[in-house]
C-alpha cells in the first residue's frame, strides 16, 4: 500500500478523496497523482500531488482552479491567481507527462501545461465546450489530442497554438484528393478505433465498412499537409493587376531556407554500432542465389551477431573488434581464396570476402539531427543552423563606441528542459550579401548532473527544443516523403555513461612496461598466450584501456581506480571467491592481521572510508607480499617448479574517479608464478632433499666399497656354479660311458672266451716253453 501507514487522504488532511489519475516518473522515482477532493457543501476541487517512492514523502504541488480562466482572445495565459475566470467549471480527467522535456499536461475540458509541475499555462486555443478523451505523445515534440466527439487536435510542444486537424478545411481538401486517387484507406462509413504515433508519424487505426464488409486498417494522418491546406485556405488575398484580379498567398514563415551544417559524426553521440555484412558471391552462370548460399549468408550473419553479443574480454586484444578473431588466422590466405574465386574454383560455388564482414566506424552525418545523443561528463555537441531570411531582416544600430553592428530580426531560441544539467551557447554570424545568418549551437554537460553508473544504464533523460521565432506551424519543406515541418527541432539528450564503453586490461602495454622497468621478464614454463604470467618478485605495473565499441577508439585509462583481489586459487579450476571481510583483510593497507596479499610501491591515497588504496596511471607499482595469513602464503608446489597462483582481480573507479560518469567494473584473472615457500616448508623440503641426497651418497659409497668384494664373490659364485654345471655334465657323461663300456666288456669277454678256447687248443706243452729272464 502506498503511501505507507497512511492513505493519501490522511496525508493531505482531507476526509473524502479519490485518485483519478497517476503517472510514474522513472527519472525521479516518484508518482504524480491527480486527486479529486470532496470539500464542504459538496464542492469538488482537484490537486496535483507528488509522492516520493524512496522517502515516502507526499507533497501538494498544485491546486487546479475551480473555473476556466478568461483568456480574452489570447493564445495562452499564465495562471498566477490574479486572473479573472469564466463561469465554466474546470473538469480534469487526466494527465500526460513527457520525461524528455518534463512537460506536464493536465487535460479535461481545458488544457494546462507546465515545465516544473507547479507553474501552469492555460492554452486558450482549445475550446472549453469540448472535453478531451485522451492525449497521444510522440516524445519528439508533437502531441495529438482526441476529444469525446472524436475530433483531432494538434499541439507542437514548446508553442502555445493548438490546431484543429479533424474536422477542418484542410481535412476536406485532403479527403477529396484521396477520393480522386481512389484510395483504399478511406470509406464513406468509417470509425476511428485509436490514434497513435509510430516513428514520429501520426497514425489512425480505422474500422472501415464498405459494402457491408468491415476491415481494420492503419492510416497515416498527414499533419503537415493538413496544416498547409489550412494556411492556403486562410491566408490568401486578391490583388488587382491591371484589368484582372490575381490570387496571391501570404507566406508568414520568417525564412526561406533552413539547413543544418557541421554536424559531427553520429556514432560518437548516437552510440550505434554498425556492421558491414554483404551476401557471399555466387559463382554460377545465372548469378542467382540458391538455398545453400542463402543459408550460408544467414549463418554468417547469425555468427556475426553472436560475436557481437559475446565480445566482452577482460584482456584487451590488439584490435578490439569482434570480427578480428574471426579472420585473423585467415588473412594470409585471402589472396589464395580470391584466386580460387576468380577461376570459379571456390568450394560450393560460393566465395566469401573477408572484408565484407566487418565493423563500420566512418559513418558520415546526414542533414538532420540524430534521433538522440548521449553526453558523458564534460562533453559537448556542436552544430550549426543556416537560415536564409525572407525579405530584409537585417538592420544596424548605433552603439556607444560609434559602431554600427548588424542585427537580425530573425531569432533562434533554445528551451532546455533541465538547465541545471545542460549548458547551451548560441553564436550568430550574419552573411549580409546572402541575406542569411549562421547560428552555431553548442550543448555542453555541466559535469555535476549525474553521479556514476554502468555503461548505458540509469541515464538522465533531458532534451533541447530549438525554435526559430515565429515558425511554429508556419514553415514547411517539401521532401521526397512529402512536406516536413521546419523551424522546430527537438533533440533528446541522455546524460550519464554512454553505451558501448568498457574497461579492459591492457596486457600488451603492461608486458612491455614491466619488461622495461624490471629489466627482464620471466614467463611461465607452460606459456599461455591468452594469459601471460608475471613473476612474484617483480614489481607489477598494470595498465588499463577505455575501449569505445561504437567509434573504435581506444585510449589509456587516466582516471583513478581501486584494485582489489576478490578471489584466487592454485589453479583455474579451484578459484575461491573471498568474502567481504576477507577482501578487506587481503587488500586494505590498514589491515593488522598479517594477511595482505599485495601493497603499493609508492605512497597512494586511500578511499573515503580509509579501506583501500586509490591508484592511477601515475601511481603505479604493486609488490606482492602473500603474508602469513593470506591465501597465497605457503602454496604447495605440484611439480619441481616454483608454486604459482591465480588471483581474481577487481578494478573499479566508483567513488574515486571524477573524470567520467562511467562506473567501470573489470574482473580478470592474473597468473603469478615464482611464489616463495614458507620457512617451515622450505626447511622440511631442505631436510627431505638433504636426506635423499645423503642417502644416495652413502649408497654410492657403500656400493663403491663393496664393489670388489661383490665382484670377487660373484666370481667365486660363478666359478662354483660353473663347476657344478661341469661336474653334473661329467657325471652324466661318465654314466653313459660306463654303460657303453660294460656292453663292450661283455662282448669282449664272450669273444675272448672263444678265442681262449682256440688258444687252448693250440697251446704247447708247458715243459716245452722256454722262459727268458727280463733284463
The per-residue pLDDT for 761 is 45
pLDDT tens digits, 439-498: 999 999 999 888 889 999 989 999 999 999 888 888 998 888 888 999 999 999 999 999
Distance CA 670, CA 568 (A): 9
Judge contact between 135 and 144, C-beta under 8 A. yes
* Sequence-separated (6 or more) residues with CB below 8 Å from residue 547: 316, 320, 501, 502, 503, 504, 553, 554
Strands of the sheet containing 44-52, edge to edge, are 17-25, 30-38, 44-52, 58-63
The per-residue pLDDT for 753 is 46
Measured from the Cβ of residue 221, the count of other Cβ atoms closer than 10 Å reads 20
Strands of the sheet containing 554-556, edge to edge, are 501-505, 544-548, 554-556
Going by C-alpha positions, the residue among 5, 66, 61 that lies closest to residue 31 is 61
The per-residue pLDDT for 43 is 84
Measured from the Cβ of residue 400, the count of other Cβ atoms closer than 10 Å reads 5
Going by C-alpha positions, the residue among 476, 466, 472 that lies closest to residue 441 is 466
pLDDT tens digits, 669-724: 999 999 988 888 788 888 988 999 999 999 988 888 888 888 888 888 888 888 88
Q: Angle at the Cα of 200 (from 198 to 206), degrees rounded to 5? A: 45
Judge contact between 486 and 532, C-beta under 8 A. no
Distance CA 428, CA 439 (A): 5
Half-sphere exposure of 77 (CA within 13 A, CB side): 20
Distance CA 248, CA 662 (A): 58
Reduced to 3 states (helix: H, G, I; strand: E, B; else coil), residue 517 is helix
Mean pLDDT across the chain: 86
Distance CA 145, CA 154 (A): 6
The pairing of beta strand 665-673 with beta strand 533-535: parallel
Going by C-alpha positions, the residue among 534, 505, 529 that lies closest to residue 518 is 534
Judge contact between 466 and 491, C-beta under 8 A. yes
Judge contact between 661 and 453, C-beta under 8 A. yes
* Sequence-separated (6 or more) residues with CB below 8 Å from residue 411: 468, 469
State how far the alpha carbon of 58 is from the alpha carbons of 7, 48, 61, 421, 576, in Å: 10, 11, 10, 25, 47
Give me the DSSP letters along 348-393. GGEE--GGGEEEE--PPP-SS--S-EEE-TT-EEEEEEEEEESS--
The per-residue pLDDT for 763 is 45
Distance CA 175, CA 225 (A): 11
Distance CA 501, CA 350 (A): 37
The pairing of beta strand 460-468 with beta strand 412-416: antiparallel
Contacts 24+ apart (CB under 8 A), 182-187: 184/217, 185/217, 185/219, 186/219
Going by C-alpha positions, the residue among 292, 319, 260, 620 that lies closest to residue 468 is 260
Judge contact between 410 and 387, C-beta under 8 A. yes
Distance of CA 466 to the CA centre of its chain: 31
State how far the alpha carbon of 679 is from the alpha carbons of 538, 633, 670, 673, 685, in Å: 21, 11, 25, 18, 10
Distance CA 681, CA 426 (A): 74
Q: Where on the phi/psi map is residue 265: left (φ > 0), alpha (ψ -120 to 50), or beta?
A: beta
pTM over 0.85: no
* Sequence-separated (6 or more) residues with CB below 8 Å from residue 296: 280, 348, 350, 352
Strands of the sheet containing 255-261, edge to edge, are 255-261, 380-389, 436-445, 422-431
Classify residue 590 as exposed, middle or buried by CB count within 10 Å of its CB (0-12, 13-18, 19+): exposed
| Mean pLDDT of successive 10-residue stretches along the chain, which has 775 residues | 80 90 90 91 88 91 93 89 91 94 94 92 94 94 95 92 92 92 90 94 94 92 92 74 76 89 94 91 86 91 88 81 78 84 85 87 90 94 93 57 57 91 93 90 92 90 92 87 90 94 93 92 85 93 93 90 94 93 93 92 70 84 92 86 92 91 94 88 84 91 85 86 80 56 48 46 43 39
The per-residue pLDDT for 348 is 81
Distance CA 437, CA 425 (A): 16
Going by C-alpha positions, the residue among 399, 644, 407, 436 that lies closest to residue 525 is 644
Q: For the chain, what percentages of helix, strand and coil (3-state, to nearest 5) are there?
A: 25, 35, 40
DSSP 662: B
Phi–psi pair at 549, nearest 5 degrees: -75, -15
State how far the alpha carbon of 519 is from the alpha carbons of 102, 358, 536, 538, 599, in Å: 60, 39, 15, 10, 21
Distance CA 674, CA 600 (A): 19
Distance CA 92, CA 763 (A): 179
Judge contact between 34 and 53, C-beta under 8 A. no
* Sequence-separated (6 or more) residues with CB below 8 Å from residue 238: 245, 246, 247, 248
Beta bridge partners of 467: 413, 488
Tell me the helices (H) and strands (E) count for the chain, helix number first: 10, 48
Measured from the Cβ of residue 352, the count of other Cβ atoms closer than 10 Å reads 20
The per-residue pLDDT for 626 is 93
Amino acid at each position: 500500500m502506498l503511501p505507507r501507514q497512511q492513505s493519501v487522504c490522511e496525508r493531505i488532511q482531507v476526509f473524502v478523496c479519490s485518485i483519478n489519475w497517476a503517472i510514474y516518473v522513472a527519472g525521479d522515482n516518484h508518482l504524480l497523482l491527480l486527486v479529486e477532493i470532496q470539500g464542504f457543501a459538496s464542492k469538488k476541487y482537484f490537486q496535483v500531488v507528488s509522492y516520493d517512492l524512496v522517502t515516502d514523502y507526499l507533497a501538494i504541488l498544485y491546486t487546479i482552479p475551480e473555473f476556466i480562466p478568461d483568456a480574452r482572445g489570447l493564445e495562452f495565459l499564465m495562471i498566477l491567481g490574479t486572473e479573472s475566470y469564466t463561469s465554466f467549471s474546470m473538469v480534469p480527467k487526466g494527465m500526460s507527462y513527457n520525461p524528455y522535456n518534463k512537460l506536464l499536461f493536465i487535460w479535461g475540458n481545458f488544457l494546462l501545461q507546465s515545465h516544473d509541475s507547479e507553474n501552469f499555462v492555460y492554452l486558450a486555443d482549445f475550446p472549453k465546450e469540448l472535453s478531451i478523451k485522451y492525449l497521444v505523445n510522440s516524445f519528439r515534440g508533437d502531441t495529438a489530442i482526441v476529444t469525446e466527439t472524436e475530433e483531432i487536435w494538434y499541439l507542437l510542444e514548446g508553442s502555445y497554438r493548438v490546431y484543429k486537424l479533424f474536422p477542418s478545411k484542410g481535412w476536406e481538401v485532403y479527403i477529396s484528393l484521396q477520393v480522386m486517387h481512389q484510395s483504399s484507406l478511406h470509406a464513406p462509413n468509417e470509425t476511428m478505433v485509436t490514434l497513435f504515433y509510430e516513428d514520429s508519424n501520426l497514425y489512425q487505426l480505422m474500422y472501415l465498412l464498405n459494402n457491408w464488409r468491415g476491415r481494420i486498417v492503419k492510416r497515416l494522418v498527414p499533419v503537415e499537409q493538413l496544416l498547409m491546406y489550412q494556411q492556403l485556405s486562410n491566408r490568401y488575398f486578391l490583388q488587382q493587376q491591371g484589368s484582372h484580379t490575381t490570387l496571391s498567398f501570404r507566406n508568414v514563415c520568417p525564412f526561406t531556407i533552413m539547413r543544418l551544417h557541421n554536424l559531427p559524426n553520429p556514432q560518437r553521440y548516437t552510440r550505434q554500432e554498425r556492421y558491414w555484412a554483404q551476401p557471399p558471391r555466387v559463382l554460377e552462370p545465372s548469378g542467382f542465389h540458391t538455398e545453400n548460399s542463402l543459408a550460408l549468408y544467414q549463418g554468417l550473419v547469425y555468427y556475426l551477431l553472436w560475436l557481437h553479443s559475446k565480445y566482452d574480454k577482460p584482456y584487451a586484444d590488439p584490435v578490439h573488434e569482434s570480427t578480428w578473431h574471426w579472420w585473423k588466422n585467415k588473412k594470409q590466405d585471402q589472396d589464395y581464396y580470391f584466386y580460387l574465386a576468380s577461376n570459379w574454383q571456390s568450394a560450393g560455388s560460393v566465395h566469401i570476402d573477408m572484408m565484407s564482414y566487418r565493423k563500420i566506424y566512418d559513418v558520415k552525418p546526414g542533414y538532420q539531427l540524430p534521433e538522440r545523443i548521449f553526453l558523458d561528463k564534460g562533453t559537448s555537441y556542436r552544430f550549426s543552423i543556416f537560415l536564409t531570411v525572407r525579405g530584409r531582416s537585417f538592420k544596424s544600430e548605433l552603439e556607444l563606441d560609434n559602431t554600427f553592428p548588424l542585427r537580425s530580426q530573425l531569432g533562434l531560441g533554445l528551451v532546455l528542459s533541465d538547465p541545471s544539467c545542460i549548458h547551451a551557447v548560441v553564436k550568430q554570424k550574419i552573411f549580409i550579401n546572402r541575406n542569411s545568418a549562421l547560428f552555431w549551437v553548442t550543448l555542453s554537460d555541466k559535469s555535476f548532473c549525474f553521479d556514476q553508473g554502468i555503461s548505458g544504464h540509469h541515464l538522465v533523460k533531458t532534451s533541447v527544443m530549438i525554435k526559430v521565432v515565429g515558425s511554429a506551424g508556419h514553415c514547411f519543406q517539401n521532401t521526397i516523403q512529402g512536406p516536413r515541418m521546419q523551424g522546430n527541432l527537438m533533440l533528446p539528450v541522455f546524460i550519464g555513461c554512454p553505451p558501448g564503453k568498457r574497461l579492459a586490461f591492457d596486457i600488451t602495454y603492461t608486458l612491455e612496461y614491466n619488461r622495461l622497468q624490471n629489466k627482464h621478464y620471466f614467463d611461465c614454463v607452460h606459456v599461455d598466450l591468452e594469459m601471460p604470467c608475471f613473476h612474484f618478485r617483480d614489481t607489477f605495473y598494470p595498465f588499463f584501456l577505455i575501449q569505445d565499441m561504437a567509434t573504435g577508439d581506444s585510449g589509456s585509462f587516466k582516471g583513478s581506480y581501486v584494485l582489489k583481489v576478490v578471489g584466487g586459487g592454485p589453479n583455474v579450476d579451484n578459484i575461491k571467491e573471498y568474502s567481504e571481510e576477507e577482501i578487506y583483510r587481503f587488500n586494505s593497507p590498514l589491515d593488522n592481521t598479517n594477511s595482505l596479499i599485495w601493497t603499493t610501491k609508492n605512497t597512494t591515497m586511500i578511499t573515503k572510508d580509509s579501506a583501500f588504496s586509490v591508484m592511477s596511471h601515475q601511481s603505479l607499482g604493486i609488490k606482492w607480499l602473500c603474508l602469513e595469513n593470506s591465501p597465497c602464503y605457503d602454496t604447495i608446489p605440484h611439480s619441481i617448479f616454483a608454486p604459482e597462483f591465480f588471483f581474481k582481480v577487481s578494478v573499479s573507479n566508483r567513488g574515486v574517479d571524477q573524470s567520467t560518469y562511467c562506473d567501470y567494473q573489470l574482473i580478470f584473472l592474473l597468473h603469478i608464478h615464482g611464489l616463495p615457500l614458507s620457512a617451515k616448508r622450505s626447511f622440511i623440503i631442505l631436510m627431505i632433499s638433504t636426506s635423499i641426497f645423503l642417502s644416495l651418497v652413502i649408497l654410492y659409497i657403500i656400493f663403491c666399497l663393496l664393489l670388489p668384494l661383490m665382484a670377487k664373490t660373484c666370481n667365486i659364485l660363478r666359478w662354483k656354479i660353473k663347476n657344478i654345471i661341469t661336474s653334473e655334465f661329467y657325471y652324466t657323461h661318465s654314466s653313459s660311458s660306463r654303460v657303453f663300456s660294460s656292453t663292450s666288456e661283455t662282448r669282449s669277454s664272450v669273444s675272448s672266451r672263444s678265442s681262449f678256447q682256440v688258444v687252448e687248443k693250440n697251446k704247447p706243452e708247458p715243459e716245452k716253453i722256454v722262459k727268458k729272464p727280463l733284463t
